[in-house]
Amino acid sequence: MRKLVNRLVLLGVAAGIVYALRNYLQDSAGAKRGDVQVVLDTGDTVEPGSAEAQEFADVARKILEISGQAGQGQASAG
């Protein structure tokens, strides 16, 4: 009986890990509505749709990569 309970506990832990991992991977798949907010000069905020939010996030990521590479290049040249 004790062996059966231990196996059920291990099975429950494994199922919980799989469930948590699946939710984590689904949530981190990309930018969704509400993930990206653009603040205008007037103080208004705009929330783009999911496709626009993903594109905005990709552009922002690329800008950060380029600025990081430019900063490293200047530091090594000096």
Identify the bridge partners of residue 45 per DSSP, sorted by sequence position. 39
Inform me whether the pLDDT recorded for 14 exceeds 60.
Answer: yes
What lies within 8 Å, CB to CB, of 16 at 6+ separation is none
78 vs 7 pLDDT, higher one: 7
By percentage, how much of the chain surpasses pLDDT 90?
0
d(CA 3, CA 77): 65
Query: Which range has the worst mean pLDDT, 19-28, 29-38, 58-67?
Result: 29-38
Supply φ then ψ for residue 38, to 5 degrees: -105, 125
Average pLDDT over residues 20-38: 67
Q: Which residue in 18, 29, 31, 78 sits closest to 59, CA to CA?
A: 31
Confidence of residue 18 (pLDDT cuts 50, 70, 90): confident
Would you state the pLDDT for residue 76?
Answer: 46
In the chain, domain spans: 1-30, 32-78
